[in-house]
Structure 1
Amino acid sequence: MMLDNTDKDTHDKEGQDKKKRVNLTSDKRTAHFGLRGRATTGFPVKTRSKALSALLRFSHSLNESTELVAKLFWPEEAQQSEPEILEEVYKIATQDLAVLGHVPDMVWFHKFEESSTATIRKALGINDAGSRVLYIIVFRKLDPITTLIGEEFLLAWWEVVKGHRALWKNGVHHRDINPSNIMGYRLRSRFMSVLNDFDLSITDASKGFERTETAPFMSLELLTPEAIAGEVEHVYRHDAESFIWVLIWVCLRYEKGKLLGKGRPLDKWLMLDARRCQEKKCSYMFMVDKIPPTQSHRKNFIIAKKCLGMVYECGGPLPSIPTDDEVVFNTWFLNHVPQN
């Protein structure tokens, strides 16, 4: 499918009954960058279809927004698709209140079979394994968690941590925790946080050895040469540590719900390779008090330091990394985050 800088209509093979307009020039267009790219891009959607509007009545969350966004990306064909993963997530949500209302609401999706890079590989006589295919998924619109401050932000972050734990216990492993993937919506006056973007998730049926996350938020262990080479399995404590780095990141870089201007802390982390990023993060753990948090997150930073302190203890002179997921959850989070 060719895309230019104009609005584009998409529809099912059956015809126009789910016709929608994807605005490729919108200033709200977003892109995601990681160690390995799926060329993920998001666009606002203008629906001109009664059928698509009707799908909004069948919600998988408590989100009542009628605004939609489209996600275009190129996942590996061999991996379980994000729509399939989300169907598993929705089943868990019906049984677990920690998940209900805290997951993205998928309205519609389409796989462009004809876009498979396997066709190109075959034509060129390339027989090595691996191919990608274009997907488009339409979701209800969500807002960034970084717009929140103080106790409201901490509560939203904590609810996603708990929801993520519930999903992991039920066999859905997210594996890409970063600020862009923690979003939410308003349910009356309350902000309902959402763990978003399940395109890198896996289920218990498979093991996660590939590295696809965003370096500044990755566990220190996953930034080692062995892990980058695919020799370290991604386990729960790695995602748990990512949540802590996200908390540190927001506390230092956002004031009154807005990103600080030039010269903000930790900017260099975004431009480093895995090895150098790990070095910078390790150095930061020795000088955590030298970079003050913003006023909006002063109290949250106290919690963030306590959580990060547990990571430091586990990787200190006498490493004692817990292997039990529940121990990680309790000692890294539950013992430090205020419970309402």
Structure 2
Amino acid sequence: MAAAFIFDSIPSQFNLAMDHDMGVSMSIQGLDSVDNLNTDLRSRIFVFPQVFLTKILQLPPDWRTVYQTEMKTIRSSKAFRSLLKEYSDTCDSTQDEKMLYHPFNQAWNAGTRALYEKKGKNDKAPPRLGLCRQDSQEVLAGKAALSSDSLRLFESLFEGSGNSLRSIKDNGLSNNLTWVQTLHWFEFKLHPRLLDQGAGCQYRILSEGQSQISHSFPLVSNNKSATDGIDPATPAITIPDSSSDPHNGVPFWTSAAQKRPLTDSARTGGSSKYARVVSTPDVSAARAKFQKGAEEKQSIAMEQMAADSNERKKVSLQCARYALEMLSSAGFRTHCISALIASKQMQPLYYDRSSIIVCKDFHIVDSNGDVTDFFIGTIIGFSKLTERQRGIQRSLCDDSSMVEKYQTHTTRCRDDPKTAFQGVKLNLTVSEDETKVALTLGRIVSRQPGIVGRDTCVVEATASEYEPWKKKELVVKISWPTSTRISEVEFVTRARKKAREMPQSPIDGCQSDWALDHLPDIVHSQDFGYDADSPHATLRESFLTAKWANDQTFLHEDRVCRVTVQERLHRLDELKTPREYAQVLVDIAQIHKWVYDHPRILHRDISMGNIMWRQNCLGIICGVLNDFDLSSYRDDLGATSRHRTGTRPYMSFELLKNDKEGRPPQHLYRHDLESILYAVLLLTRCHQLDGTLPEGRSQLVRVACPKLDGWVHLPCDRLQSEKELFLMTSDPNIEPTTTFKGFKPWLKQLYKMFRTGFRAQSDFFYQLRAAAAPIRAPPPVDRFCPIAIEYTPRQAPAPFNHHTLAGNVDYVKFLGACRFFGGELLHLRNYQLVSDEET
């Protein structure tokens, strides 16, 4: 598989948390980055409807036979037939997309009701679900102001919301809903050309048989044999009206390569028994006029195709943003199943933490106006899903009010996205005797939303009924790491154990276990997997046996829901003075080196969001290096998944560029030192301390810094160039803001240190290329020149230490540049140094 790299820490807005409740300072708190979502979409998987219905909607392979009775029930429902015809007629008559919402919802709901009414008296009826119009208002409690056209939810929740079925047709909901209360969303478009056609989709599962393909609209066959399967991105056959087409049925945008080539005899007329008629001026003019008209039509068609392609990308991005909200703002969701409807065609969509699945569109009604099997199968599939199969994780959080009781959830959370989990009970099993502990969640501290990736969310928590945690101020971190990645708790536990085992210091006043003050204190970690009948499990199995287009293979990453309970730390922006910031940053450099030397762990994700602090038992402020989710042991420095490691604005520029095989480079110790440099730079150039703000609010405020602000939004290649240019420029603008003037000596020395090192590396690479260049042949001997000219081959340069950039970037030099602030020595605590050529 070609490597498809995305970030586990997804930067989207460069937002230093001004709101005290918003969370980790300088963590990236915005909704989404177009660049990151587009990266996810490029790795989407395109499948036929049969695959979607059986692997995601959990229908059996022979669903037409198994659910023959249910399909007949829906088809025979007078209400369903009538409402579906009304929708079909609306599609034919309207040019207003909004006119499609209510008729489709009514038809869908009628089909669902027909299923419920078929249940016998002894059958356990599933909770009733309904589809309702939502476009008039944004869905609440999200990270962005978004409004999907229709939402699917439990009827009990709708009935408790106080909305009127009479007014919803024209006005939508009067009492709004939140993403937490939503089960599925449906988006509408007028034109089928806006549906995803699989263009540019790298991963496509070929058909296993004709049952996967709609019989009403055949596909263009490719050059492969039928046993190889048909590509779902293959376009449907269209039969143009030849009476109005000058190309007699061949589309006018057909390329020359697609047209039948003329034989040599046809070009020359040599085999004809009649002589070629010489063209008259009138014929030539008519031919030229026709050719010009054809070229104009072709140009218009190409422009339309380009415009349609751009519109399709926008629609895909729009749907991805809804999915991101469902996965990040709707509680503990494992995945999101939704659909895109364009006139009489439907395209189901699926998003989870590992993949995005796009179903090839199918027709809702066929050319005769009859409902298709695939549409009825989709209604049945959506209706029969269990809560778990809809993505609701009840084993982690058994709170039905979030999706079933409108007033209970609304009263408790008040449409505030930070209170989505307020009062929710989180069920954990701790200690060897499997003690059951129920944590009560509070406000959301920070969130890094994303689709594919960790999607980390940190929430306040209390454990009033569990004695060991009763007096602790706790936070819960909920994330979705790959199952093969070493957990954060293992790294932190190993580091804290090593700190306690360190020998006593011979230096007065130095504690041997000083590192404990600078490491997070994790009290519990627990993983929640997926059920055997979940879409994740069925997809993982099907990916292993599927036939893929172009011999590609999608490497599915198994992820788990990991819940980590730890002591709450203070955000960086809660500090009050420049000297406090300086001490915390120096503490981070020291604990980072200690962790690298002794437990032999490389952090690999230093950012302002992961630099925190606590007060120790003596009341001293101590910088804490937090979030070891992306860490690795020194003996295993490669990326442990197909994601880069780090938060992009803080990453070393060398890590932003892949090698020739598409792999990220090895993450070195000095790359983390470069991240600390960027943290100092972004803090002191883009922020100011304002002591006039009210007590309880952060005194750190943003100031405009266009050059550095742009680092957040740039794609990897451009950001890599910007950072490289910054570090190689003779005189970049590194002037700190007024209140952070004391950091200017730091910035000057650190910048000089890295610039010298990278220039030395650049010179080494130049010499290496020169030595490898072919040697020019000496000129012929000149008999009139008695002096012989000797040519010696270029010598290869001496070995270069890339770990320290020839000794220019290491821990000692880094700390030497930062150990003083305002002319006074800062506290240096790490006396347990290990001599190492890499640091």
TM over 0.5: yes
1:117-168 deviation line (CA, Å, top 9, x unaligned): 8624345444645311000111111112233332221111111111111111
Taking structure 2 as the reference length, what is the TM-score of the superposition?
0.36
Residue aligned with 1:77, SS? coil
Cα distance change on mapping 1:35 and 1:160 into 2, 3 Å: farther
Query: Is the radius of gyration larger for structure 1 or structure 2?
Result: 2
Cα distance change on mapping 1:40 and 1:131 into 2, 3 Å: same
Answer with 198-207 or 37-46: which moved more: 198-207
Question: Paired residue for 1:32?
Answer: 448
Question: Paired residue for 1:203?
Answer: 633
Question: Paired residue for 1:119?
Answer: 537
Residue aligned with 2:644, SS? coil
Question: Paired residue for 2:606?
Answer: 177
Cα distance change on mapping 1:117 and 1:308 into 2, 3 Å: farther
Output the CA distance in 1 between the equivalents of 2:535 and 2:815. Answer: 43
Question: Paired residue for 2:584?
Answer: 156
Contact 1:35 1:215 in 2 (8 A): no
Output the CA distance in 1 between the equivalents of 2:609 and 2:664. Answer: 27
Q: How many matched pairs?
A: 327
Residue aligned with 2:437, SS? coil
User: Root-mean-square deviation (CA), in Å?
Assistant: 3.0
Deviation of the 1:101 alpha carbon: 0.7
Select 2:483's aligned residue among 68, 74, 77.
77
Cα distance change on mapping 1:93 and 1:311 into 2, 3 Å: same
Question: Paired residue for 1:138?
Answer: 565
Select 2:810's aligned residue among 318, 328, 337.
328
Residue aligned with 1:211, SS? strand
Deviation of the 1:262 alpha carbon: 5.5
Contact 2:653 2:720 in 1 (8 A): yes
Answer with 278-287 or 137-146: which moved more: 278-287
1:41-91 deviation line (CA, Å, top 9, x unaligned): 11111323223525x6xxxxxxxxx32111000111111111111111112
Identity over the aligned pairs, expressed in percent? 23
Question: Paired residue for 1:270?
Answer: 712
Output the CA distance in 2 between the equivalents of 1:228 and 1:166. Answer: 34
- Summarize the alignment of residues 1-340 of structure 1 with structure 2, pairs less than 5 Å apart: 2=392, 4=402, 5-7=420-422, 8-13=424-429, 17-23=436-442, 26=443, 28-32=444-448, 37-53=453-469, 66-94=472-500, 95=502, 97=513, 99-114=515-530, 119-122=537-540, 124-126=542-544, 128=555, 130-148=557-575, 149-170=577-598, 171-187=600-616, 188-209=618-639, 211-226=644-659, 229-256=662-689, 257-261=699-703, 266-285=708-727, 286=729, 290=733, 292-316=735-759, 317-318=762-763, 322-323=802-803, 328-338=810-820, 339-340=825-826
1:83-115 deviation line (CA, Å, top 9, x unaligned): 111111112222254522101111222111337
Residue aligned with 1:284, SS? helix
Contact 2:479 2:563 in 1 (8 A): yes
Contact 1:253 1:265 in 2 (8 A): no
Answer with 308-317 or 234-243: which moved more: 308-317
Output the CA distance in 2 between the equivalents of 1:335 and 1:69. Answer: 35
Structure 1's unaligned 5+ residue stretches are 57-65
Taking structure 1 as the reference length, what is the TM-score of the superposition?
0.84
Cα distance change on mapping 1:89 and 1:121 into 2, 3 Å: farther
Contact 2:584 2:623 in 1 (8 A): yes
Output the CA distance in 1 between the equivalents of 2:736 and 2:661. Answer: 31
Residue aligned with 1:108, SS? strand
Answer with 80-89 or 221-230: which moved more: 221-230
Answer with 9-18 or 297-306: which moved more: 9-18
* Counterpart AA for 1:136: V
Answer with 191-200 or 321-330: which moved more: 321-330
Contact 1:255 1:296 in 2 (8 A): yes
Output the CA distance in 2 between the equivalents of 1:248 and 1:288. Answer: 15
* Counterpart AA for 2:718: R
Answer with 233-242 or 116-125: which moved more: 116-125
Output the CA distance in 2 between the equivalents of 1:137 and 1:227. Answer: 37
Question: Paired residue for 1:63?
Answer: none
Answer with 40-49 or 310-319: which moved more: 310-319
Deviation of the 1:265 alpha carbon: 5.6
Cα distance change on mapping 1:283 and 1:98 into 2, 3 Å: farther
Cα distance change on mapping 1:258 and 1:52 into 2, 3 Å: same
Contact 2:657 2:665 in 1 (8 A): no
Answer with 119-128 or 152-161: which moved more: 119-128
